Amino acid sequence: MDKRATWSGQLAFVLAAAASAIGLGNLWRFPYLAAQYGGGTFIAVYLCLVVTLGFTLMLTEIAIGRKTQQSQLTAYSRLHGAWGFVGILGTVVPILITPYYCVIGGWVLYYLKAYAVMAFTGAAPLGEAAAQSGEFFSGFISAPFAPFGYGMVFVTACACVIVLGVKNGIEKSNLVMMPILFLMAVAISVYVICLPGSGEGLRYYLVPNMDCLRAADGSFSPALLCKTILGAMGQMFYSLSLAMGIMITYGSYMKKGDSIEGCVRRIEIFDTLIAVIAGLMIIPVVYMFAVKTGTNVHQAMNAGPGLMFITLPQVFATLGAAGPWVGLAFFILVTFAAATSAISLMEACVASVCDVLKLERKAATFFTTALIAFLATFSALGYGPWKDVTVFKMQFLDFFDFITNSALMPIVATATCIFVGWVLGPKSVIEEVEAEGRRFRAKHLYTVMVKYIAPAFMIAILVSEICRAFKIKGWSI
């Protein structure tokens, strides 16, 4: 195996880590949660958690990666042999997420093609006023081959970037995609803000609404405050690509002289900025659409694929002649967002294969791509030919999403905090952050967070997610 690759500089690392964090979750989950939990109230709570809890978890993972110069699979065992199981669990996460994420990436490509046809030919594959958007979406995902085919195109494109390496592949792709993604997000949000009647939607999104914290009798509800915090905490956790092995892997490519603390702060800013802009793109137009059609706003902001693939096409259709072009721009943006995250997930898998099997990058990429293609088959066909085959009454894609996002990721994050806080000791991470004379300004906050607060928050997320998935009475987000 070749000598371990490194980023060309801090900017390259920040762009790569931010690209990983800015994925589909930012584009459909953040706007939905903001709409559900009081707009500006949710954003304020989210920001507080990002700069404390998110900072602690991300800094820990990056420091572990740089300290060990290993991917997540072998990093924990390098630090303490008895804790190698955390690395194994952490490696299972991207191996299971990447296949179904690439299947969803294939859905995005299909819509990108549909909107290109609409924009350039005037055709209406989703029906007039996108009235058939639901049938269009369900017809595609239930098809016998198309979801798999488009998913494989997406997987292959990501693999082509990975095989070129850290500098020539991941860095250069991010230097192209990230500026385009950011500029398109800003352009679309400016267009939406300038639409007549968007003011009410903007107020609904940005102005704090304390009603989300009030009980039925109008009094302040600590329980609803806890639920809002849980919602923001869950979004922050998934948005920053934590407990997926990505930050450990990317940290292992980081140079000793680079500032981990500074890089984490920049990543947080970039990720949060895109999340807020995503809300500016989506919430005002969906709000106007809901008012126009008499639909409940929360229902219109339905979380998950339904918002992006069913509701938004109906919203774009209300924009008249500009609708197909706005839709095309939006799905180009979504394609880049999905690709940057998928590349990061795949890199975490490839790095693990390289570290364990001592394979060259090309061989490891081929092996990983084949494994991802095989696992993607289940999610791609799970709504079609295999729709009657379920796991715990869940379709394959929903099951993989549950087992990773709701179970494994909170478990890995909790174990990491316990490991660093009580077994390895925060001093080990602090020393890595302060390598080569760097100052760690937030080390006292970090010590308290990683030992006490972060583990408690991670357990809360785990309990909440299990309650939500199995409809158990309790806190769920």
* CA pair distance 412, 403, nearest whole angstrom: 12
The CA-atom distances, in angstroms, between 455 and each of 197, 218, 411, 421, 452 are 44, 33, 10, 9, 6
Residue 283 in 3-state DSSP? helix
Question: How many helices (H) and strands (E) in the chain?
Answer: 23, 0
Instruction: Give residue limits of the domains in the chain.
Output: 10-469
The tokens for 382 are 């799970």
- Reported as type and span, the H/E element at residue 237 is helix 222-239
For tokens 């609904």, the residue is 204
Bridge partners, 394 (sequence order): 391
- DSSP secondary structure of 3-42: PPP--SSHHHHHHHHHHHHSSHHHHHHHHHHHHHTTBHHH
The tokens for 123 are 């055709």
**pLDDT tens digits in sequence order for the chain, 477 residues long:** 457 889 999 999 999 999 998 888 788 888 888 988 889 999 999 999 999 999 999 999 999 999 999 999 999 999 999 999 999 999 999 999 999 999 999 999 999 999 999 999 999 899 888 888 999 999 999 999 999 999 999 999 999 999 999 999 999 999 999 999 999 999 999 999 999 999 999 999 999 988 888 887 888 888 888 888 988 888 888 888 899 999 999 999 999 989 999 999 999 999 899 989 999 999 999 999 998 888 877 778 765 678 899 999 999 999 999 999 999 999 999 999 999 999 999 999 999 999 999 999 999 999 999 999 999 999 999 999 999 999 988 999 999 999 998 899 999 999 999 999 999 999 999 999 999 889 999 999 999 999 999 999 999 888 888 887 777 765 555
For tokens 């774009």, the residue is 316
Count the Cβ atoms, other than its own, within 10 Å of residue 338: 25
Domain 10-469 belongs in CATH node 1.10.4160: yes
pTM beyond 0.85: the answer is yes
Count the Cβ atoms, other than its own, within 10 Å of residue 136: 19
Contact between 32 and 307 under an 8 Å Cβ cutoff? The reply is yes
